[in-house]
Amino acid sequence: MIPIRYNLRSLAVRKTTTVATALGVGLVVFVLASALMLSAGIKKTLGVSGQEDVAIVLRKGSDAELGSALDVASVNTILGAPGVKRDAAGKPEGVGEVIVVGALEKIGATGVANVQIRGVTSDALRFRPHVHIVEGREASPGSDEVIVGERIRGRFRGTGLNESFDLRKNRPVKVVGIFSDQGSSYESEVWADLDTLRAAYGREGGVSSVRVRLTSAAAFDVFKAAMEGEKQYGYLAQRERDYLEKQSQGTSLFIGIMGTLISIFFALGAMIGATITMYAAVANRQREIGTLRALGFSRGSILFSFLLEAILLALIGGAIGTVASLAMGFVHFSMLNFASWSEIVFGFEPTVNIMLTSLGLALMMGLLGGFFPAVRAARVSPIAAMRG
């Protein structure tokens, strides 16, 4: 077999073509890895706050909280269902909330954008122990005060601490606190007092959803059966985690498909470039190939050597693209969530599987782009090569 150092020396000697081809492959890998990281980030953002022992109840036929409507009487019915956990005082652990979409002026862009606003009770933070006030304080019940998720803070006019914006026209509210929740979709919401939001949007006498904490994750089946047994109300009960995962499917699928299609087109271009580069290398290295054959190396050794060279070149580019994509982990941007029709701030979530998939693409590009030039090199006649 031809020593690997021969291939490494060859790549080092041809610095210009090596760098150009590696960067082309790296760009493809960067695009694919970024798209996969964004898709993973969307799933994490919409699913991180979901808990196995929490169930959410919507009106049957509703895909999301925004399109659901339950009357106030339903809240007590749901909280009193079997399987619902009670606190030390015997009070059911659950919250009924209203979801609306408000139009806020986006900073750094023209026009307005949709932001999800959640009407909550004073129990909202106690019910969600993973949500924490990181600056300021909680909003006072029954007041025109709101708290804002950390990811949309300052992205919309009036959403900074101690600033004000109109909940609806001529209904100003003041931001008194900033909260975080491990990067979940809650951080892209505004939380207002339930009654204040109802009055502003004419939603008195109802809620969009009811969340309850169950005695255990296994109690969901009992709870679900009780909800489905209330035929006259038309309840739809789901595990909170399952519900949130469904909310991410449309957006993450769209991003994944778009990123894959773009990567395929880029990959085709990069493979063509790599193939041309390797063909040129074969044409310029006729004497080397002839010398190797004269030294007794077989056609199989020549083929393997040139194919290995193409793979090494692709893996170098793949490593560059993969490492560069890790920087996207510090980037956050907002985009429309198809389930709620409101803007949510997403991040890029790097994972080991994504990194390995990206390197796998680079390996495939090296194999496909280098195979035919390697075959051509193996077929070179040693006598003709030496004469040339």
> What is the per-residue pLDDT across 212-237, written as a single tens digit (0 to 9) for each?
999 999 999 999 999 988 777 789 99
What is the full per-residue pLDDT of the chain (388 aa) written as tens digits? Answer: 677 777 777 777 777 877 887 888 888 888 888 888 887 777 777 666 678 899 999 998 888 888 899 988 889 899 999 999 999 889 999 999 999 998 888 887 777 888 999 999 999 999 998 899 999 999 999 899 999 999 888 889 999 999 999 988 888 999 999 999 888 888 889 999 999 999 898 888 889 999 999 999 999 999 999 998 877 778 999 998 888 877 766 766 776 677 777 777 777 777 777 677 777 777 777 777 777 777 777 888 888 888 888 888 889 988 999 999 999 888 877 776 666 666 777 788 888 998 998 898 888 888 888 888 788 877 777 666 556 5
- What's residue 324's pLDDT? 92
Cβ-based neighbour number of residue 92 at 10 Å: 16
Q: Which parts of the chain are beta strand (E)? A: 54-59, 70-71, 94-105, 112-120, 132-136, 145-149, 164-168, 171-180, 189-193, 206-207, 209-213, 235-239, 332-337, 342-347
Q: Quote the pTM value.
A: 0.72
- Residue 51, CB-side half-sphere exposure with 13 Å CA sphere: 15
CA–CA gap between residue 85 and residue 214 (Å, rounded): 5
Domain boundaries, the chain: 4-47+247-387, 61-233
CA–CA gap between residue 263 and residue 272 (Å, rounded): 14
Which two tokens mark 249? 């499917």
- What's residue 63's pLDDT? 83
Cβ-based neighbour number of residue 110 at 10 Å: 6
- What's residue 386's pLDDT? 59
- What's residue 48's pLDDT? 63
- What's residue 46's pLDDT? 67
The DSSP secondary-structure symbol of 138 reads P
Contact 92, 82 (CB under 8 A): no
- What's residue 267's pLDDT? 73
CA–CA gap between residue 360 and residue 362 (Å, rounded): 5
